[in-house]
Homo-oligomer: A and B are copies of this chain.
Amino acid sequence: MLEASPPLKTKALVLFSGGQDSTVCLAWALQRYRLVETIGFDYGQRHHIELVCRMQILSRLAADFSWASGLGEDHIIDLRVLGQISETSLTSDMAIQMADNGLPNSFVPGRNLLFFTLAAALAYRRGITALIGGMCETDYSGYPDCRNDTIQSLAQSISLGMDRKYEILTPLMYLDKAATWRLGEELGGPDFTELVRQHSHSCYMGDRKQRFDWGYGCGACPACELRARGYAAWQNA
């Protein structure tokens, strides 16, 4: 779909949660790499429905999009240990509120450090050195583990610690949610944005009963608000 596609590289591993961002990231990777494996983390998140959505997205991508033919093995990692370490609103029934330091209390300290380190350990065994994730500095309430400085420092630490040169690619790092919808459209046209709208999941509350023009969710949590605003900005551009 891209006007000028770069030549395909070999293999990549995408951190794929089933959210809007990682779904667009996955499309981005599928159009750049011959083989794209996916990894997801089950950490007892309240929006566990995400893990169901991600399976639907994977099967629909494989069935309906010719550029998704490079989809390889999917890996689900049991990371419920996170709940053991950190009680936060993502893993408990607390309301989503801002903590004293300005971070949402959904903050699991350094979560993305763990995700990428585990992904790299798995990639090591599978001969993959390109890790791809949907982190972005723009929309994530200032999560420090989504910042580019953090991610690139981590790529260096992982490369040193595994004695193999890894790269971490974050194509959405400087995009806002409207730009992510736009990128999805560029990558896969209206059929793909429709897939994102219908099947990707953002809502912190795990709500998939209420339907909005931007997809399903509670419509009130910060993730839904962000998604709604981005969708509106994209539609009205």
Query: Among residues 131 to 184 in chain A, which have CB atoms less than 8 Å away from a CB atom of chain B?
Result: 144-145, 147, 149-150, 153-154, 156-158, 160-163
Q: How many copies does the complex hold?
A: 2
- Shortest CB distance A208–B (Å): 27
- How far, in angstroms, from A117 to B117 measured CA to CA in the complex? 9
Closest to A125 in B: B86
B109, B158, B162: the one within 8 Å of A120 (CB): B109
Contact B150 A160 (CB under 8 A): yes
A81 within 8 A of B: yes
- How far, in angstroms, from A160 to B150 measured CA to CA in the complex? 5
**For A124, what are the chain B residues with a Cβ–Cβ distance below 8 Å?**
86, 109-110
- Shortest CB distance A226–B (Å): 21
Contact A110 B161 (CB under 8 A): yes
Closest 10 CB pairs of A and B: A144-B163, A145-B161, A109-B124, A150-B160, A153-B157, A154-B157, A150-B161, A110-B161, A109-B121, A157-B157
